Amino acid sequence: MTQRQVRAAVLLIGDELLSGRTQDINLQTIAKFIAPLGVQVAEARVVSDAPENIVAAVNELRARYDYVFTTGGIGPTHDDRTADAMAAAFGVNIGVRDDARAILEAHYKGPGGLNEARLRMARIPDTASLIANPVSRAPGFQIGNVFVMAGVPSIMRGMLEDVGKRLDGGAVVKARTVRGKGVREGDIAAGLEALEAGANGAVSFGSYPWFSPDGYGLHLVARSADPAALEKAASDLKGLIRSRGSEPEEVDG
């Protein structure tokens, strides 16, 4: 396992996520999309629409991680402040850009079409490149190692297709999950710790209890970029479940 791990941060922007009005699902979508490309999410943050919060967070995260993925705040209304915040964070100018304006002009035709509010969505920081939006056209953008995407999940998902091509991934970390029924965390904790110690850092192990009307149990997860070590780990986890008198089942996720 000599390949470098490529690490990313996700920055979710929007008052509605902090108030509880909106349940975020973008973090999970991004994490699952980039993992097979060899990029792991190492940290995530949720900040309000206040520009100073966006600037501080993105500057801290882009210095610390290989990539930063942001969602939210690039629409046409006054509370969409992400583009200006990114320009401020990178110390570049921002204005309506011809390439972005052309995309919007083609989309918003007829009366009341590309008005001043919608033209806000063509404001792109200097040096940024556009990210295609196959859903509603108004583009996202990449500036440096930061990918700025929409907050609406269907639009964000569409933008990821364009983002994915630009990622230079490293080692691909894969997971194997073994399910045991009628087994509790406290029953396998010592065994699991021994497996983690024996793997010498090549595998990380996690334990996640589940409860349902017909019983309870555990999902034991092994994660590794080393296929052979991961295969052994999955086999070891099954043995651990069997040692508690339960028949293990391998499941997705």
**Nearer Cβ to its own copies, position 92 or 171?**
171
φ/ψ bin of 215: left (φ > 0), alpha (ψ from -120 to 50), beta (otherwise) = left
- The helix (H) or strand (E) run that includes residue 34 is helix 26-34
**Nearer Cβ to its own copies, position 88 or 188?**
188
Span interacting with its own copies, options 37-45, 125-133, 163-171, 224-232, rule CB under 8 A? 37-45
145 binds its own copies (CB under 8 A): no
C-beta of 37: minimal distance to its own copies in Å? 13
Please tell me the distance from the alpha carbon of residue 178 to that of residue 112, in angstroms, as a whole number.
56
186 binds its own copies (CB under 8 A): yes
Span interacting with its own copies, options 19-27, 90-98, 124-132, 164-172, rule CB under 8 A? 19-27
Site for its own copies in 119-138 (CB under 8 A): 120
Among 161, 208, 231, 239, binds its own copies (CB under 8 A): 208
| Tokens standing for residue 37 | 């490309």
Among 95, 206, 227, 245, binds its own copies (CB under 8 A): 206
Site for its own copies in 219-248 (CB under 8 A): 221, 223
Number of residues that bind its own copies (CB under 8 A): 65
Span interacting with its own copies, options 83-91, 112-120, 123-131, 157-165, rule CB under 8 A? 112-120
45 binds its own copies (CB under 8 A): yes
40 binds its own copies (CB under 8 A): yes
117 binds its own copies (CB under 8 A): yes
Interface residues with its own copies (CB under 8 A) are: 15-25, 27-32, 35, 40-49, 53, 75-79, 108, 112, 115-118, 120, 152, 154, 173, 175, 177, 185-190, 192-193, 196, 204-209, 211, 221, 223, 253
